[in-house]
């Protein structure tokens, strides 16, 4: 005799076809419950924590809430077999609290629609794919460029990033600082990094920051703004245009004099004003010249003004580079900036 339709639908909802994880977890939970029931002095209540934790890692958002309820039901059934004392009361409270936390986490996870480990893997893969856009493309032998990123607290997610591409003999690079800190800034940076990378290759240099500004204005973010600086460099002639959106200025080292020049470029912060204008600052990199683009984490701290920070950075650049530009971006990032803020730096050198 076939099962009632409602029962079949319930089973399909809780145990999707092809699921090979839920049934073993149920079996383990039942075995633990029987052990607690018949041998309460040998098998402790806390063994029920094991299937709860494993389920939180491997079950999908549809299965997990049902399984947590099942484990808590088993706990409620076997608890009366215990000699109720403070130790047992604490164990029951801890298991119920853990189950509640897993239920709340499953509600958030349901927005993604995958199990815990799968969701984390997808997120990390997305991060790696997007951040690969920050890799410097192959350049002619007479050019060297490198970028370095450091996040506040040493986490792999940061609100600062670099995107680069090579289009029609030009090196196009954007250094971006997304508003805010922590996880919120990191997730916004991931989204913006993908969009910026696409715009960088698709739009003419003169329209890039305007396109990024329009994209940010369309986002429904509480902190929906960012600063950016854009370099468009002709790899044949060394001529460049720099456009800024509320970002710290670039710095150019003249090989002839050995001095650094701050290249001021004016433009509003991205995501605040419609029809914003981003005028260029133009120049030329000659043989031996170097160019630095960076975020404010490199030069600004709570106790130091940004202009003094720029002076210090350029002094350190003169000391740390000393004509050895390979690896120079790493040396500068490690020596400068606030460890409590995200930092990004791009170094370009014409050999």
Domain spanning 122-350: which superfamily? Answer: PPM-type phosphatase domain (3.60.40.10)
283 within 8 A of 252, measured Cβ to Cβ: yes
| Mean pLDDT, residues 279-290 taken together | 96
Long-range CB contact pairs, 53-56, < 8 A, 24+: 53/98, 54/25, 55/25, 55/102, 56/102, 56/105, 56/106, 56/116
Look at residues 161, 134, 143, 132 and name the one whose alpha carbon lies nearest to residue 325.
143
Instruction: State the DSSP code for 81.
Output: G
Instruction: State the DSSP code for 301.
Output: B
How far is Cα 138 from Cα 121, in angstroms, rounded to an integer? Answer: 29
What per-residue confidence (pLDDT) applies to 62? 78
Higher pLDDT, 276 or 159: 276
271 within 8 A of 225, measured Cβ to Cβ: yes
Domain boundaries, the chain: 5-113, 122-350
Has this prediction a pTM greater than 0.85? no
| Mean pLDDT, residues 316-342 taken together | 87
Which pLDDT band holds residue 234 (cuts at 50, 70, 90)? very high
How far is Cα 321 from Cα 272, in angstroms, rounded to an integer? Answer: 37
Which pLDDT band holds residue 305 (cuts at 50, 70, 90)? confident
What per-residue confidence (pLDDT) applies to 300? 82
52 within 8 A of 95, measured Cβ to Cβ: yes
Which pLDDT band holds residue 219 (cuts at 50, 70, 90)? confident
332, two tokens: 């500068």
Does the pLDDT at position 227 exceed 70? Answer: yes
Does the pLDDT at position 207 exceed 90? Answer: yes
240 within 8 A of 231, measured Cβ to Cβ: yes
| Mean pLDDT, residues 140-157 taken together | 83
Does the pLDDT at position 337 exceed 50? Answer: yes
Does the pLDDT at position 350 exceed 80? Answer: yes
């Amino acid at each position: 005799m076939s099962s009632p339709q409602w029962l079949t639908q319930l089973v399909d909802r809780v145990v999707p076809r092809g699921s090979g994880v839920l049934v073993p977890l149920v079996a383990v939970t039942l075995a633990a419950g029987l052990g607690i029931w018949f041998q309460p002095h040998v098998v402790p209540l806390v063994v029920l924590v094991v299937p709860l934790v494993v389920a939180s890692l491997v079950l999908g958002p549809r299965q997990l809430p049902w399984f947590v309820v099942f484990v808590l039901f088993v706990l409620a059934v076997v608890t009366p077999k215990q000699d109720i004392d403070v130790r047992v009361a604490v164990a029951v409270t801890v298991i119920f609290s853990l189950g509640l936390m897993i239920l709340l986490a499953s509600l958030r996870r349901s927005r993604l629609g995958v199990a815990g480990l799968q969701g984390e893997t997808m997120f990390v893969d997305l991060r790696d794919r997007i951040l690969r856009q920050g890799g410097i493309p192959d350049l002619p032998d007479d050019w060297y460029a490198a970028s370095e990123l450091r996040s506040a607290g040493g986490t792999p997610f940061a609100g600062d990033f670099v995107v680069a591409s090579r289009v029609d003999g030009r090196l196009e690079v954007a250094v971006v600082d997304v508003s805010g800190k922590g996880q919120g800034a990191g997730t916004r940076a991931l989204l913006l990094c993908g969009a910026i990378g696409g715009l960088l290759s698709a739009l003419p240099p003169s329209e890039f920051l305007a396109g990024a500004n329009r994209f940010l204005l369309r986002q429904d973010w509480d902190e929906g703004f960012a600063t950016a600086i854009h370099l468009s460099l002709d790899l044949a002639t060394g001529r460049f245009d720099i456009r800024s959106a509320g970002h710290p200025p670039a710095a150019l080292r003249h090989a002839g004099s050995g001095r650094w020049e701050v290249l001021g470029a004016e433009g509003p912060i991205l995501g605040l004003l419609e029809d914003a204008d981003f005028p260029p600052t133009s120049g030329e990199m000659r043989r031996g010249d170097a160019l630095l683009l960076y975020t404010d984490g490199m030069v600004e701290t709570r106790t130091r003004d940004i202009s003094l920070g720029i002076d210090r950075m350029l002094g350190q650049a003169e000391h740390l580079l000393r004509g050895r530009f390979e690896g120079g971006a790493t040396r500068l990032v490690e020596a400068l900036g606030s460890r409590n803020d995200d930092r990004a730096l791009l170094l370009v050198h014409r050999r």
